[in-house]
Chain A
Amino acid sequence: MAEYRLKTPISEEDIRKLHVGDTIYISGTMVTARDSAHKRALEFFRRGEPLPVNLEGGVVYHCGPLAMKEDDKWRVVAAGPTTSARMEMFEADFIKAYGVRVVVGKGGMGQKTTDAMKEYGAVYAAFTGGAAVLAAQAIKRVVGVEWLDLGVPEALWIFEVEDFGPLTVAIDAHGNNLLEDVRKKALERKARIYEMLGV
């Protein structure tokens, strides 16, 4: 398991080097998007309307931050990841449409996303759920916020980050899915667990 430091925009070549279990740290730009933002972004794509931010070679973060406005400037107080499974229905199309290279979240994603990541060259990187202050520390500046009409958690937050991590590569661009493998192994143990419990 190797450790990498990546800077945005990230090239496909750098992404293909990564394997599940690797640790990565990201510097540059990260953009948050949850359910509503994914949905709206795909509607924009269908209509051929440009997004307010360029995601080519970029990093999307499944996160609804806790942010405060102080003297007209936003400050991020806490910004841990949200459950990525909710974005499974959008992510493959999203990666294809916008050329995203890294999706950061928690809890893992499914087969459709895994296939899209293999095809277009992207990875899913798991950040520790709840590690919101650790995340906030790596966020150096709020570059901007778009779509605030969706609410503070659902808006597109554009962050400048430095060594954001540690992130565990949980889906690589070679079709491997770490969390899914762990879950499959757990399911295989079910019979043994039942036996131990005498049920």
Chain B
Amino acid sequence: MNVDMIENVAVELLRRAVIYLPEDVKKALQRAYENEDNAAAKTQLEAILRNIKLAEENEAPVCQDTGLINFYVSVGGKLWDLVEIEEALRRATRRATREVPLRPNAVDIFTEKNTGDNTGRLVPHINWEFTTGDVLEITAFPKGGGSENMCALRMASPGEGLSAVKRFVVDSVLEAGAKPCPPVILGVGIGGGSDIAMKLAKKALLRPLDQPNQNPEAAKLEEELLKAVNMTGIGPMGVGGRSTCLGVKVEYAHRHVASYPVAVAFQCWAARRASARIHPDGSVEYLTR
């Protein structure tokens, strides 16, 4: 295993993530712009589209809030040393902070000191997933604070069932208003325990906008919720309009007989993610621009 290579790939992923938005997100924003007839909403979306283009041209981060750094790592077989991967990702985060650059965003709870390099206790956060095979897949997911602050969890009663999910998603969007930088993407996690519901909601944000859930019932719920939240008319940046939300992504787990956790994760329009696959022979395949 070449640890330096993993570090280099992770730096590159952070760089790409904060500069280039994924194609599915760009397309959805373009469609939203074409679909608006509210003048203020159009002004906001036009600024967003211009900004995305300028970021690419200048190779500058699309938003100054380059987020709290998360990695999703899916690792197969026994070829990889997990502790070394974790250390490589921490080093990559430090380097990317200087080289890209990223805004330092990691603050100590008690001293209130910013570490200055985006690392700290449990930061960057690494979500591990183990698979068969021998491939290492890394996704860099820098998550901005404005949308993160709107994330919400409700422990509903099983008697309410999916109705509770629908009400809670609509209520959360109304509560959030303009704050999470709409048009947003919503991740909805249902079931598991409280922590699992939120983990699923966050993970749902990794799924491209043009990929509905494979379960037709979950896909139907996604579509229904998208229509519902766009009926609020909050619009881009809360100035009013049709495009409050670009997509709703549902993920679920089995629940305890007595519990019905529902989590809503907000993602701002600057939905940054970049992925790469590293093969055991050392070849690297970038899955996003």
Contacts and interface: CB of A to CB of B under 8 A. Distances in A.
Given A78-B63, A79-B64, A183-B234, A129 B163 contact: no
A35 to B, nearest CB: 11
A124 to B, nearest CB: 12
Interface in A148-199: 151-153, 166, 168, 170, 178-179, 182-183, 185-187, 189-190, 192-194, 196-199
A126 B237 contact: yes
A121 interface: no
Contacts of B114: 151-153
A66 B61 contact: yes
Given A66-B64, A186-B177, A77 B237 contact: no
Contacts, number: 178
Given A129-B268, A132-B61, A193-B170, A179 B47 contact: no
B54 A137 contact: yes
A97 interface: no
A23 interface: yes
A132 B231 contact: no
Interface string B159-188: 000010011001100100111010000000
A83 to B, nearest CB: 5
Give the interface size bracket for A toward B: 35 or more
A107 B227 contact: no
Given A1-B40, A190-B174, A196-B228, A152 B50 contact: no
Nearest to A86: B149
A130 B238 contact: no
B146 interface: yes
Interface in B128-149: 144-146, 149
> At the interface, is chain A mostly helix, strand, loop or mixed?
mixed
A131 interface: yes
Given A77-B60, A178-B239, A194-B167, A133 B51 contact: yes
A128 B51 contact: yes
Interface bin, chain B: 35 or more
A190 B177 contact: no
B179 A132 contact: no
B234 A130 contact: no
Nearest to A192: B231
Question: Most B CB atoms within 10 A — which of A85, A170, A199?
Answer: A199
Complex A-B, nearest 4 residue pairs according to Cβ-Cβ distance, in ascending order: A129-B181, A78-B64, A128-B47, A131-B51
Interface of B: 39-40, 43-44, 47-48, 50-51, 54-55, 58, 60-66, 101-105, 114, 144-146, 149, 163, 166-167, 170-171, 174, 177-179, 181, 224, 227-228, 231-240, 268-270
7 contacts: A77-B101, A130-B62, A130-B269, A133-B61, A182-B177, A185-B233, A199-B166
Interface of A: 1, 21, 23, 63-66, 68, 77-80, 82-83, 85, 106-108, 126, 128-134, 136-137, 151-153, 166, 168, 170, 178-179, 182-183, 185-187, 189-190, 192-194, 196-199
